Amino acid sequence: MATFGDWLNKRFPLRELMREHLTEYFAPKNFNFLYYTGSLLLLMIVLQFVTGFLLMAHYVPTSQDAFASVQGIMYDVRWGWLIRYMHVDGVSLIFVLLYLHIGRGMLYGSYRKPRELLWIIGYTIYILMMGEAFLGYVLPFGNLSYWAGMVITSIIHSVPFVGPALSTLARGGAGIGTATLERFLALHAVLWFWILAAAIFIHILALHQVGSNNPDGIEIKDTKGADGHPLDGIPFHPYYTVKDIFGVGVWLTIFAAIIFYAPTMHGVFLERTTFSPANPMVSLPDVTPPWYLAPFYAMLRAVPNKMAGIVLMAVAVVLPFFLPWLDRSPVKSSRYRPVYRIMILVMAVTFFTLAWVGEQPPLPKYFLLERAGAAIYVGFYLLLPIISRWEPTRKVPDRVTS
Amino acid sequence: MKIMRKYAIVAVLVAGVAGLSVRANADTLLSLPAGYFNKPAVIAGAKLFARHCSACHSVQSLRFNRLASLGMTKAEIQKDVMLESGANYLQGMQPAMTLAQAKGWFGMPPPDLSHMVRNLGAGFIYNYLQSFYWDPSRPSGWNNHLFPKVAMPNVLQPWSGIVTKQGKVIEPGRVTPAAFHKKVADIVAFLRYASDPSVFTRYKLGGYVLGALIAFSLIAYWLKKEYWKDVHSDSAKHKK
Amino acid sequence: MVTLDDSQGEPDWRRRRFLVATTSVVGAAAVAAVAGVMVDSLEPTAADAAAASTTVNLAPIEAGMQLTVPWQKKPVVIVNRTPAMLATLKETADKGLLRDPNCDVPQQPPYCKNEYRARKPEWLVMIRICNHLCCIPHYRPKKASVTPWWLGGFHCPCHGSMYDLSGRVIKGSPAPHNMAVPEYDFAKDGKTVTITKMYPKAHLC
């Protein structure tokens, strides 16, 4: 085997890659459970890729047959139900992981220097993921798919100057029909997906350049031992590989429990209105987005003016890009920033309240909640430069705590 | 910041109470008996459905032979569900009535019921089927509390009897109310199965899958613990 | 690999090797199970199985006439044979014209292993594909319509293979075997026939 290894390494830098990214890639030793999310996201994307391929092998992208072909997968294809539930529930679980992953970054200041670019690439992945989810959402062509497609393409329509042309380009015709399904499938499975995959690859490359942050927000590279390795760092392999394998086991147990015992999650992961075929003549009782997009949708509804609502939503989506420069505190981790810690907590509660209210019917009684939520959300980013300058901080230790 | 936090908590509480009050309004509805959904109920429901509903309603997605996975024999399915109609055993359930007849009688074809339970919920269908009242102003003579002016007549009249909008019994049903509830619950059980036929396989297989994954997690946990002894002993050394 | 030297005591390598092996085996088994499920999902679906059987109404087929219907993208011929036509079957066999008069080669389900090659003598249900090179033979029921000694049967336009009215191949034809008979069932009232599936041992061409 050794000779084969030599032969291979003369032609492909396998050992070098292993050393650089696994056995001599040092990660802080004080990771908590939030640090499982990265490797789990990677696993889930691979699973989506595989199940997506199998779904596509049976899917017919025409307005006549799309709904029936998806039901054919559920009823007639062997294990079709398992594959579709994996794909559908996988989306919701990816967003659970994404929110934990992003929340972790905010909690421990992982967006701060030198990880600004890492944060921006990561947040771009989140936005691409929303697009990918939306494209996939339209494909089964239930009534919800149809109206979601209508609403989102109308939002594109209201973009100044290029909007009308863009929305026609997205729809491929007067309405949502076969042309839309064909191009959405092509985008979902080919172009958009590969852009997403490339962004993920770049994200990991950038991570390996700067190294992982940790719950204490301390740079482990600042304290190196005699051998030149960080004293608080441990090689990714074997320590984090075995830890991540354990994480995968626990996560897949949760995933399987959902797939086998609550695949629609009571209408949250797979909505009731996806079970009636698309009908351009019958609008739904209330068109609400999937839970993971609902916070932004709630902000869209908070303003009684079409353009202003769309602008507010766009601002809310874009604001986190500027986080590395909005935060002026000398300390990174919220562990040593009591005020920032409270702000993050309020932000998390607000975000999930907005998600909840975004799922409710569009009634005036929710306006106050929607507006308050939008104000807190935007307020967080606007107040951060001021608060982070004067907020009191605790002393940051020199070495990571365990 | 503290005020903001307080506000958010109040907001969540208000939202919770609003959600509860919606549920309280629905208290007048009947709730499905616990444990109504099991294989014998689905089989009983399939037979009732064949006799009372399948003349007008299709269940396109569910193939007759799928019922064999519940433990029914082919002969039983042909006799009690296909009603010796000469339909294809391998095809989905089709209505006896033609499309032209449906348009003539109801104005539009009655809906396919394959996904109805997942679309409207089992509770809705259970209540809908028991909410018909006598209304001479309607073409069919029937109206429905939950679905006003519905085109469907009360096909379950032999069981439910004839009741006016105010609840006055014109003609009692031929079965007791309890037996009526049970029959409707069985039909709902069948429709729930039709909308989600992988359900029994899922429940059974799920146990094995979860068992295997928990075993894997356990082994992986020991593996992780074993390797991380290095890290812990290392940090213990540093503390000294 | 970088080891954390001066750690307290040497790691238990046997235990580590054992745990790595166990995790790998269990993990590999899980991956194999999922892969098996995924490959299985690409098998023909229940919709294909339902479309695989074709039911044909026999009423329009008059005595002496044939009807050819598509079944699984193959032509299936259904012939309503008259007593006179059935009489020719024995005659061809007695004259020693046939290569396999007793249908010993399993080109038909066991219940069709008779001179009629059918469940009911008058009804021939057969895949109309010549055993030689997959052409569709002509139906030639009239006597002397192909050769002076012709008693009625099928004649292939491509390479001249000849079959009797049961689809049994006539000696001297390039075709090696009798034409294949699929599995089929008559309805209880006998008014329709349902072609259910290919007889697995039968050889088409």
What are B189-210's pLDDT values in tens digits? 999 999 999 999 999 999 999 9
Buried b (16+ CB within 10 A) or exposed e, C47-72: beebeebbebebeebeeeebeebebe
Above 60 in pLDDT, residue A162? yes
Q: How many CA atoms lie within 13 A of B27 on its CB side?
A: 4
Average of per-residue pLDDT across B7-24 = 36
Angle at A195 between CA A191 and CA A15, to 5 degrees: 125
- Cβ neighbors of B126 (< 8 A, separation 6 or more) are B30, B32, B184, B185, B188
**CATH no. for residue A107?**
1.20.810.10
- B90 and C50: CB-CB below 8 Å? yes
Task: Give percent of chain A above pLDDT 90.
Answer: 89
Q: Is C34 on the interface with B (CB under 8 A)?
A: no
Digit-coded pLDDT (tens) for A49-97 = 999 999 999 999 999 999 999 999 999 999 999 999 999 999 999 999 9
Query: In this structure, are A119 and A230 located in the same domain?
Result: yes
Distance in angstroms (rounded) separating the CA atoms of residues A75 and A318: 41
Every domain of chain B and the residues it spans: 30-197, 204-230
Residue C56 DSSP class = E
Is residue B7 very low, low, confident or very high in pLDDT (cuts 50, 70, 90)?
very low
pLDDT value of position B197? 96
Å between A341 CA and nearest CA of chain C:
35
Is residue B2 very low, low, confident or very high in pLDDT (cuts 50, 70, 90)?
very low
Q: How many CA atoms lie within 13 A of B203 on its CB side?
A: 8
Task: Give percent of chain C above pLDDT 70.
Answer: 96
- Select from A267, A288, A309 the last residue of a domain: A288
Q: Which of A23-27, A114-118, A172-176 has the lowest mean pLDDT?
A: A172-176
Average of per-residue pLDDT across A14-38 = 94
Which homologous superfamily is C51-197 in?
A: Rieske [2Fe-2S] iron-sulphur domain (2.102.10.10)
B86, B164 in Cβ contact below 8 A?
no
Write out the two tokens for A199. 């962004």
Find chain C residues with C-beta within 8 A of B88's C-beta: 50, 53, 55
Above 60 in pLDDT, residue A338? yes
Digit-coded pLDDT (tens) for C21-49 = 999 999 999 999 999 999 999 998 998 88
Write out the two tokens for A13. 């830098």
Above 60 in pLDDT, residue B5? no
Above 60 in pLDDT, residue A183? yes
B234, C7 in Cβ contact below 8 A?
yes
Q: Is the model's pTM score more than 0.90? A: no
Query: In this structure, are A229 and A367 located in the same domain?
Result: no
Q: Which of A363-367, A390-394, B100-104, C195-199 has the lowest mean pLDDT?
A: B100-104
Q: Is C66 on the interface with B (CB under 8 A)?
A: no
Q: Is B9 on the interface with A (CB under 8 A)?
A: yes
Q: How far is CA B113 from CA A16, A228, B192, in A?
A: 60, 69, 10
For C68-108, the DSSP string reads EEEETTEEEEEEE--HHHHHHHHHHHHTT-BSSTT--S--S
CA terminus-to-terminus distance, chain A: 40
Above 50 in pLDDT, residue B22? no
Q: Is the peptide bond before A397 cis (omega within 30 degrees of 0)?
A: no
Query: In this structure, is residue A21 part of a structural domain?
Result: no
Query: In this structure, is residue A371 part of a structural domain?
Result: yes
Task: From A249, A272, A256, select the one nearest A85 (Cα to Cα).
Answer: A256
Q: Is B100 on the interface with C (CB under 8 A)?
A: no
Task: From C48, B45, B64, C47, select the one nearest A71 (Cα to Cα).
Answer: C47
Q: How far is CA A157 from CA A139, A150, A166, A170, A182, in A?
A: 20, 10, 7, 10, 20
Is residue C191 very low, low, confident or very high in pLDDT (cuts 50, 70, 90)?
confident
Task: From A296, A394, A383, select the one nearest A336 (Cα to Cα).
Answer: A394
A309, A317 in Cβ contact below 8 A?
no
- Cβ neighbors of A34 (< 8 A, separation 6 or more) are A100, A101, A103, A104, A107, A215
Digit-coded pLDDT (tens) for A292-320 = 999 999 999 899 888 899 999 999 999 99
Above 50 in pLDDT, residue B10? no
Out of C138, C155, C159, C177, the active site residue is C159
Tokens 């009655």 map to which residue? B110
Task: From A357, A358, A368, A377, select the one nearest A312 (Cα to Cα).
Answer: A377
User: Considering its fold, how many domains does chain A have in total?
Assistant: 2
Tokens 């209540």 map to which residue? B127
Average of per-residue pLDDT across A118-138 = 97
Above 60 in pLDDT, residue B239? no
Buried b (16+ CB within 10 A) or exposed e, A46-78: ebbeebbebbeebbbbebeebbbbbbbbbbbbb
Residue C114 DSSP class = S
Query: In this structure, is residue A31 part of a structural domain?
Result: no
- Cβ neighbors of A234 (< 8 A, separation 6 or more) are A26, A27, A29, A240, B230, B231, C4
Query: In this structure, are A115 and A52 located in the same domain?
Result: yes
pLDDT value of position B134? 93
Task: Specify the amino acid at residue A354.
Answer: L
pLDDT value of position C117? 92
Query: In this structure, is residue A7 part of a structural domain?
Result: no
Query: In this structure, are A332 and A281 located in the same domain?
Result: no
pLDDT value of position B11? 40
- Select from A257, A288, A319 the last residue of a domain: A288
Query: In this structure, are A299 and A284 located in the same domain?
Result: no
Is residue B9 very low, low, confident or very high in pLDDT (cuts 50, 70, 90)?
very low
- What three-state secondary structure class fits C127? strand
pLDDT value of position A340? 96
pLDDT value of position B88? 81
The bridge status of strand C66-71 relative to strand B59-63 is: unpaired
C199, C182 in Cβ contact below 8 A?
yes
- The neighbours of chain B, by the rule of 3 or more Cβ pairs under 8 Å, are A, C
Task: Specify the amino acid at residue B107.
Answer: G
Average of per-residue pLDDT across A198-227 = 95
Is residue C145 very low, low, confident or very high in pLDDT (cuts 50, 70, 90)?
confident
Task: Give percent of chain C above pLDDT 90.
Answer: 49
Q: Give chain B's largest Cα–Cα span.
A: 92
Q: Tell me what the pLDDT averaged over chain B comes to.
A: 85
CATH architecture of B30-197: Orthogonal Bundle (1.10)
Above 50 in pLDDT, residue A339? yes
Digit-coded pLDDT (tens) for C53-88 = 888 889 889 988 999 998 888 899 999 999 989 988
pLDDT value of position A223? 92
Every domain of chain C and the residues it spans: 11-43, 51-197
pLDDT value of position C95? 86
Distance in angstroms (rounded) separating the CA atoms of residues A380 and A348: 11
Nearest by CB to B219, which of C12, C26, C55? C26
Domain coverage including residue A330:
293-391
Average of per-residue pLDDT across C183-196 = 88
Query: In this structure, are A45 and A92 located in the same domain?
Result: yes
Query: In this structure, are A374 and A309 located in the same domain?
Result: yes
Q: Is B13 on the interface with A (CB under 8 A)?
A: no
Task: Provide residues of C within 8 Å CB-CB of chain A.
Answer: 1-2, 4, 23, 27, 37-38, 40-43, 45-47
Q: Phi, psi (5° rounding) for residue A329? A: -70, 145
Write out the two tokens for A194. 């590969």
Task: Give percent of chain B above pLDDT 70.
Answer: 86
Query: In this structure, are A147 and A257 located in the same domain?
Result: yes
Task: Specify the amino acid at residue B222.
Answer: W
